[in-house]
Amino acid sequence: MAQLILNHLTKDFGGGRPAVSDVSLTVREGGFLALLGPSGCGKTTVLRMIAGFEQPTDGSINYGERRLSDASRALPPEKRNMAMVFQSYALWPHMTVAENVGYPLKVRGISGETWRRRVGEALALVKLTDYAERRPAALSGGQRQRVALARCLVTSPDVVLLDEPLANLDQHLRKSMEETFRIFHERSGATMVYVTHDQSEAMALATDVAVMSEGRLVQLAPPAEIYARPEGTVVGGLIGRGSILRLALPEGAPRALEWPMLRAALDGAVKAGAGEAPVHEVLVRPEHVSLDGEGIALRVASCTFEGERFALTLSLPDGQTLKAYVERAVTPGETAHFVINRGWRL
């Protein structure tokens, strides 16, 4: 076990902006890193460089002391002792489930009783023992996913890469697969790198979340940290369902904003363009907005029932909108009083 280190990693496919630009990060031993970002942000390219399918144009990748790739040399994927769950699962249609799972062992020259035992163990872990002799075509999406996972398990790889593995599954199956991934991570102790554009997956699974945008690493932090203290509008907009308001705040305002200061800023917004204070972007989480007679009057633009609560869209007098979760329905068009308990200056 060792750390996976990306050092100023850059990949330029030769079309204007580099796909990945100067990404440096370290995945701790046995860590579970989620690479999060909108499509086209370069997260899959980072994953493919770690696997060895792409070679960096600058920077390097190390596993502990061992250099895996840099701009001049690259260890081929077949020599890296890594495993990957592909978005399409990449099961070989001409092999049975057991042959698929056991292929990495076969390539390593393991056969006979050892082969059977280890394939059996891997299949047992993903609860597919009864399906060993079937072909992948005869399995459902979730079962194929588990075969792909078992194939990763079987050789105890140093690093396991997961490329949007839940993208093709339905909502219900996702939840149970997330659970499987977590158990898998705990048991194997392998370093895992997980690419996704779904922030809830990233938050639920990872020990660290790396947010990427336009080829750059924007923020790297544990999930709770990144939720509470996002850096910049990209992360603020991507994590959670917050609203970003542009508010005039006094000089020296703290990052974490309380209601009195927010109220003053909102009043300032009401008296449009009054203060000289610079305009800041402030992230407000919907769960931090509440109905309160003490608050300021805002018009309710829409009200959606979401089962456990009502989601409101509120209009500020200057046209900005704000989301809020409340316990009772409010008729759209009405005005009600709201308090913003907390805000985060981006």
Partner 1 sequence: MRPGASPAGEPRWLVPFVLACLFLLCALPLISLAKAGFAGLVSGNSIGVLTEPATYAAIRNTLVTATGGMLISLVIGALFAFAVALTDIRGKLTLSFAFMLPMMIPPQVTALAWVEMTGPASPLLKTLGIAPPLGSPQPLYSLFGISLLLGVQHAPLVFLALKAGLAASPRDGVEAARLSGASPFRVFLDIVAPLAAPGLIAGAAIAFVSGVGNFGIPAILGIPAGISVLPTLIYTRLASFGSGTFGEIALISSLIAAIAAAGLILQQRALAGRDYRIIGLSGANAAFSLGRFRVFVELGLAAILFLVLVAPLAALIASSLVPAYGVPLNWQTVSLRAYEEILFRQTMTLSAFTNSLFLASSAALGLLVVAVPAAYLMNRRKGVLSSTLGILIEIPYALPGIVLAVAFILTFAAPLPILNVSLYGTIWIILIAYFSSFLAVSLKPVMSAFLQMDPSLEEAARLSGAGFFRRMRDVILPLVAPAAGASIILVFLIAANELTVSALLWSAGTQTLGVAIFNLDDSGSSDLASALSVLVVILVMALMGALETLVNYLPEGVLPWRN
Among residues 204, 197, 206, the alpha carbon closest in space to that of 175 is found at 204
Interface with partner 1 (CB under 8 A), residue from 5, 36, 46, 51: 51
Q: Per CB under 8 A, which region of 104-112, 182-190, 230-238, 262-270 contacts partner 1?
A: 104-112
Regarding 73 and contact with partner 1 (CB under 8 A), the answer is yes
Regarding 65 and contact with partner 1 (CB under 8 A), the answer is no
For the stretch 272-275, contacts whose Cβ atoms lie closer than 8 Å and that sit 24 or more positions apart, written own/partner, are 272/317, 272/318, 275/248, 275/250
Q: Per CB under 8 A, which region of 23-31, 47-55, 276-284, 337-345 contacts partner 1?
A: 47-55
- What is the number of other CB atoms lying within 10 angstroms of the CB of residue 255? 11
Min dist CB 73 to partner 1, Å, is: 5
Min dist CB 197 to partner 1, Å, is: 18
One character per residue 279-308, x = contact with partner 1 (rule: CB under 8 A): ------------------------------
User: Residue 345 corresponds to which amino acid?
Assistant: R
Q: Per CB under 8 A, which region of 27-35, 103-111, 137-145, 265-273 contacts partner 1?
A: 103-111
Min dist CB 83 to partner 1, Å, is: 6
User: CA torsion 289→295→297→299, rounded to 10°?
Assistant: 10
Which residue number, 134 or 229, has a Cβ lying nearer to partner 1? Answer: 134
Structure tokens at 185: 């991570």
List the beta bridge partners of residue 36: 196, 211
Min dist CB 55 to partner 1, Å, is: 5
Backbone angles phi, psi at 186, to 5 degrees: -65, -45
Regarding 138 and contact with partner 1 (CB under 8 A), the answer is no
Interface with partner 1 (CB under 8 A), residue from 1, 2, 107, 301: 107
Element at 27 (helix H, strand E): strand 20-27
Min dist CB 46 to partner 1, Å, is: 14
Task: Give SS3 for 100.
Answer: helix
Element at 118 (helix H, strand E): helix 112-125
Task: Give SS3 for 135.
Answer: coil
Counting residues that bind partner 1 (by CB under 8 A) gives 34
Element at 59 (helix H, strand E): strand 58-63
Regarding 256 and contact with partner 1 (CB under 8 A), the answer is no
Contact between residue 102 and residue 153 where contact means Cβ atoms under 8 Å apart: no
Interface with partner 1 (CB under 8 A), residue from 34, 82, 97, 195: 82
Contact between residue 237 and residue 38 where contact means Cβ atoms under 8 Å apart: no
Min dist CB 154 to partner 1, Å, is: 9
Binding site for partner 1 (CB under 8 A): 51-55, 67, 69, 72-84, 86-88, 90-94, 103-104, 107-108, 151, 155
